Amino acid sequence: MPLLHLFDLDGTLMFGSAAPVEISRQLGLSTEIAELERAFAAREMEPHEFSLAAHALWAELTPAHVRAAFDGSPWLTGIREVWRDIRERGDYCAVISLSPSFFVELLMEWGAHAAHGSVYPSVPFTGPLEVAGILTPEGKVTVADQLCERFGVTREDCVAYGDSMTDSVLFASVPVSVAVNARPYLAERATHVYVGRDLREAYRLLGLPRSEAAPS
Ligand SMILES: [Mg+2]
């Protein structure tokens, strides 16, 4: 049975930053997003409240800002190599993130089979943000179940990669998990723990046979 690898984005594929932070940086709104990030991390805001505030903050956002944010983000090295190895094995890789869909979906360019974020209107924004489309920690599991059905696997075939509290529900629902640069709360609940900046090293902790993605 193939494996389905489920990757968080912020703090996991991206080192020490998050898509909303990188998007806001392009707009000169780093101070404003830092306060929202702090409030969300302190659980003073729910995911939909954070997303509504971010959507309002990004009224001037253009596709060029989004591309510059994506290209300038502090990605871990080796992401494309790991996803290529996953594909060559006949396994599947997907990104499930609470961050905006218009950013998360760019990771399809790097070889993910699927990329799901919180559903935002297309950029530049002309319509309102629908709260129903905002992902939650529990919603990540719902998306994972949909992906399992799409790829013909079960939760028992899933590996989750994450860094924070928002990954804890998904970690609890799959048999194998990799904490990547994670908060202690999540690391204590993970099968494997990785600290560093090379996704190939985190992936290698799984001990999959005939891995060709090991760092040289
Ligand atoms: Mg994260």
Ligand 1 center to 164 CA (angstroms):
5
Ligand 1 center to 9 CA (angstroms):
6
| Residue 110, token pair as written in the block | 């790097």
Tens of pLDDT, residues 34-63: 999 999 999 999 999 999 999 999 999 999
Cα distances from 157 to residues 13, 66, 91, 172, in angstroms, run 21, 33, 10, 14
pLDDT for residue 213 is more than 70: no
Tens of pLDDT, residues 93-135: 999 999 999 999 999 999 999 999 999 999 999 889 999 999 9
Would you tell me the crossing angle of helices 47-57 and 30-41 to the nearest 10 degrees?
Answer: 180
- pLDDT score of 216: 45
DSSP annotation string for 50-96: HHHHHHHHTTT--HHHHHHHHHHS-BPBTHHHHHHHHHHHT-EEEEE
- pLDDT score of 211: 57
**Separation CA 54–CA 123 (nearest Å):** 13
Instruction: Classify residue 67 as exposed, middle or buried by CB count within 10 Å of its CB (0-12, 13-18, 19+).
Output: middle
Phi, psi of 76 (to 5 degrees): -60, 155
Ligand 1 center to 40 CA (angstroms):
12
Ligand 1 center to 47 CA (angstroms):
13
SS3 at position 154: coil
Ligand 1 center to 216 CA (angstroms):
27
pTM: 0.95
